[in-house]
Amino acid sequence: MNAAELTGRERTHLAELPDFGRSLHAQVVLPFLNLRREARAAGIDLYPWSAFRDFERQLAIWNAKYSGERPLDGADGRPLDAARLAPAERIAAILRWSALPGASRHHWGTDLDLVDRAAIPAGYEVRLVPEEFAPGGPFARLGGWLDEHAARFGFFRPFRGIRSGVQAEPWHFSFAPLAEHARRALCPALLRETIAAAALLGKEHVLAQLDELHARYVAAIDWP
């Protein structure tokens, strides 16, 4: 991937995922469809709730959370008042659940948020929270099945609440053969250049601690 692809500013590495209205890296489509086929045999309708996300979409999410227009949650999942937080606290709160624009693994087309469409109750609004994958949650069976089978198809969970500053995301899976190359290529200098040119709220505070943020929220993942 080139610099623009790594930071979500180009789509030249992508292919459409048939029947889902989603895009993935061209080399990830077949592994995902193979994983989905295996899941279907087990009675699971594996659905990509989210796949590729471009820079502008990630920027809109960031700015809405930074400004308080979009809900901002603490580590315990409880809502926070963005206006009451100092800039560094606000940045840390956002990064627990959402990536910096330019640093999202979804930019690479290697990462997906997965649910079992067959397990969604009528009228239920999927929230992508850990409780949905915990015992008794609608995706508990999916989580266990993925624990057992995802690695055979090249997928792993990069955020399990161990090394990274990102909260555990049991729905988030990454295609290791490509994602690891992208993670190593996305250096602080490239991220700094990308953010410096963007209309990012809190930009001066982000840039002031970017090396630390990169180390904690981009470089540090739960791998292997």
Please, what are the domains in the chain?
3-219 (3.30.1380.10)
Burial code of 29-53, b = ≥16 C-beta within 10 A, e = fewer? bebbbebbebbeeeebebbbebbbb
Residue 76, pLDDT > 90, answer no
CA atoms within 13 A on the CB side of 1: 31
Asked whether the predicted pLDDT for residue 77 surpasses 80, the reply is no
Residue 130: cis peptide before it, omega within 30 degrees of 0: no
Output the six-digit token pair for 13: 């590495």
What's the farthest any 2 CA atoms get from each other in the chain? 51
Categorize the per-residue pLDDT at 185 as very low, low, confident or very high, splitting at 50, 70 and 90. Answer: very high
Provide the percentage of residues in the chain whose pLDDT is more than 90: 92
Q: Is the pLDDT of residue 207 over 90?
A: yes
At 79, the pLDDT band (50, 70, 90 cuts) reads confident
Whether residue 130 is predicted with pLDDT greater than 80 in this model: the reply is yes
What is the separation of C-alpha 222 from the centre of its chain, rounded to a whole number of angstroms? 13
**78 pLDDT tier (thresholds 50, 70, 90):** confident
Read off the pTM: 0.94
User: Is residue 218 very low, low, confident or very high in pLDDT (cuts 50, 70, 90)?
Assistant: very high
pLDDT of residue 211: 97
What pLDDT score was predicted for residue 224? 72
Residue 63's beta-bridge partner residues? Answer: none
Please report which confidence band the pLDDT of residue 126 belongs to, taking 50, 70 and 90 as the band edges.
very high
What residues have CB less than 8 Å from 16, skipping those under 6 apart? Answer: 22, 23
* Average confidence (pLDDT) over 102-122: 97
Strands 46-50, 72-73: pairing kind: unpaired
pLDDT band at 146 (very low <50, low <70, confident <90, very high): very high
- Helix-helix angle 87-95:55-67, to 10 degrees: 130
| pLDDT 10s digits, 196-205 | 999 999 999 9
Over residues 12-39, the mean pLDDT reads 96
Average per-residue pLDDT for the chain = 95
CA dihedral 139, 141, 142, 145 (to 10 degrees): 160
The answer to whether residue 151 scores a pLDDT higher than 90 is yes
